[in-house]
Structure 1
Amino acid sequence: MAVGNKQLHEIESVFDSYHISPHYRQFGSVFLAPSRKPLFVLKPLKVGTVRAYLTGELLSQQERCPIIPHIVKTATGAYYRWQHGNRYLVTEKIPGRVADYHSDKDFKAAIIAMSSFHRFAGQVLQSNPKRWAILQFCPKSQWPKRIKEMEICRERAIRFQDDPFSRKYLKMWHCFYELAFRVLQTLPCESLSAAPTICYHDWAFHNVLIKNGQAHLIDFDDMIVDHSIHDRVNLISRYLRLHQWATSALLKALWNFDRYYQWQKGELKLLGLYLSFPYEYWMLGRQYYIEKQPWSRSFYQDQWQRKIGFFEERLKILDLIESME
């Protein structure tokens, strides 16, 4: 992430307000103060006031959940620093390496961390559900909006059929649209009987650190409130993509969850429904046609191959899950 001189001065000012030496180094989208022990991490937040507050509220209870970072409050006791219209969060750095889901040990550690985090987060949510209601994810209302966006993307792709990405997008549109529409017809019949929890939402390898064999969670910008199946699907789908949606990968994932974060009655059916919705196809189309992210053609090609490919294998996986419940 490129940072201009104005923001660099602002970051120095934020470090100074925490009485931290302004000698720092940038690491991705965060800034480290290497002269301190423990190391401090300053993160520019990309979320609004409510999300920033709730993130601080969650991290302030780190003693109850050691796999999340310890927050460093401002001199006035606030969770984050407000500086020239920007919000900055400071936490203690968790030493460790980025997770590798090719490793069975790392995948197992992520599942155990998910179980631990959901137990803690569920208690936080139950203590004040109204406060967290703003983060509620409701598939019955959210998925129709995403289907509508898929229709918008199709219209725009038709106008740009000379574009290789558009031709590829259109070729698969009916397949993924049918999946999404079928899920929407089935979902209202499902009852999410289990109590919701706060979900981490983004189990990408770079958001999970491994320290002494234990997984730690470090980025809470995208957390939402939903059934725990939301996080299970997020992690399992990443694992399946790594293994090209192989049946053996699904069976291994289900076995590991059954061992370290047991399935409850009805959850495999929910797994199939959540996994059926074409989240990656919707998101990539949205980024290309609606957000118009200025990424290179090769980047979009890589994203397509990793996230959208292997459609037939995906259908076999969904059929197998349906037969299990």
Structure 2
Amino acid sequence: MKTSDDNIYTIWNNEIYCMIDLVEGRESDYDNPIDLSIATKGLAELHLASEGFKGNLCSRCNSGRLINNFTRRLNEMGVFKTVALINEHKSDFDNIFLSNVDHYIAEIKNSIKLLENSFYYKLCAEENKIVLCHHDLANHNIIIKNEEAYFIDFDYAIVDLRVHDLCNFITKGTKNYAFDIEKGKNILEEYSSINPLDKRELSVLYGMLTFPQDFYSIVKDYYTRRKDWTEGTFVDRIKRKTQGEEFRLEFLKAFEDLL
């Protein structure tokens, strides 16, 4: 629905507001291969429709910032490690974190190196590779109706390379299946059937996937108290993240073989 001055959104208090028709459908289910296929094709169509999208809010433009963001997160991980080490009364979370942090620091460094050696900055300079990324592709934000995908809740939307969204989507679509590479390949094939990816984008996607986002998020949530969870909840979540690391690494090795 357009505004009185024929725009699709309006800005109020430095925030973007828009109105869309209510979609009467059901939440997508990533455990359902048909739903996952519909969602994948819908994401490809969303990105295709927004190629070359430009926004006026600099805070929402993420293109070209990823390597710096990952470097900042690497430094944060070092700070969290120091905090855990100096804690005289270490919690269970501290101990699990300290047992794993060096491995994940190495993974972050590897991710940064892969991106630095890729075509990341060149892709960021190509308008047709920059799209409106939803940036919160949880299954409940994709509504299925008549075998078509409808995206809702664009609160976290950013302007960035399309592989940024695709990275998050692949992770969400595979991690509950021990990072099944076949599901990842299916997502790539379904997406590319509508919006083809080139080899340069795949190499950048690999660098993005290498970053241990789940581990970083739970650690930052804990040490900055971003989430009001119990100690037990934090411990359960970091255990799940670290116990699934073997599968994530196997997925990355298989993905690298696709390049």
Identify whether the pair has TM-score above 0.5, normalized to the shorter chain.
Answer: yes
Aligned to 1:162: 90
**Matching of residue 113 in structure 1 with residue 42 in structure 2:** yes
Higher relative contact order (CA 8 A, sep 6+): 2
Contiguous gaps of at least 5 residues in structure 2: none
Distance 1:248 1:112, change over 3 A: closer
**Matching of residue 216 in structure 1 with residue 150 in structure 2:** yes
1:187 to partner: Cα distance: 1.7
Per-residue Cα deviation, 1:122-154 (whole angstroms, up to 9, x for no partner): 24x1xxx36254422211211111111111111
- Whether the 8 Å contact between 1:80 and 1:90 is mirrored in structure 2 is no
Distance 1:130 1:252, change over 3 A: closer
1:220 to partner: Cα distance: 1.1
1:292 to partner: Cα distance: 4.3
Tell me the secondary structure at the aligned position of residue 198 of structure 1: strand
Q: Distance in 2 between matches of 1:278 and 1:132?
A: 28
Tell me the secondary structure at the aligned position of residue 254 of structure 1: helix
Higher radius of gyration, 1 or 2: 1
Aligned-residue identity in percent = 22
Among residues 283, 295, 298, which one is paired with 2:229 in the alignment? 295
Q: Distance in 2 between matches of 1:226 and 1:116?
A: 16
Tell me the secondary structure at the aligned position of residue 92 of structure 1: coil
Distance 1:292 1:233, change over 3 A: closer
- Whether the 8 Å contact between 2:26 and 2:143 is mirrored in structure 1 is yes
Equivalent residue runs for 1:138-287 within 5 Å: 138-160=65-87, 162-192=90-120, 193=123, 194=126, 195-287=129-221
Aligned to 2:25: 96
- Whether the 8 Å contact between 2:48 and 2:195 is mirrored in structure 1 is no
How many equivalent residue pairs?
A: 248
Question: TM-score, structure 2 length as denominator?
Answer: 0.83
Equivalent residue runs for 1:34-45 within 5 Å: none
Distance 1:211 1:147, change over 3 A: same
Distance 1:103 1:297, change over 3 A: same
1:120 to partner: Cα distance: 1.8
Per-residue Cα deviation, 1:10-64 (whole angstroms, up to 9, x for no partner): xxxxxxxxxxxxxxxxxxxxxxxxxxxxxxxxxxxxxxxxxxxxxxxxxxxxxxx
RMSD: 2.8
Question: TM-score, structure 1 length as denominator?
Answer: 0.68
Distance 1:176 1:313, change over 3 A: same
1:157 to partner: Cα distance: 2.1
- Whether the 8 Å contact between 2:174 and 2:183 is mirrored in structure 1 is yes
Matched residue type, 2:31: H
Matched residue type, 1:79: T
1:321 to partner: Cα distance: 1.7
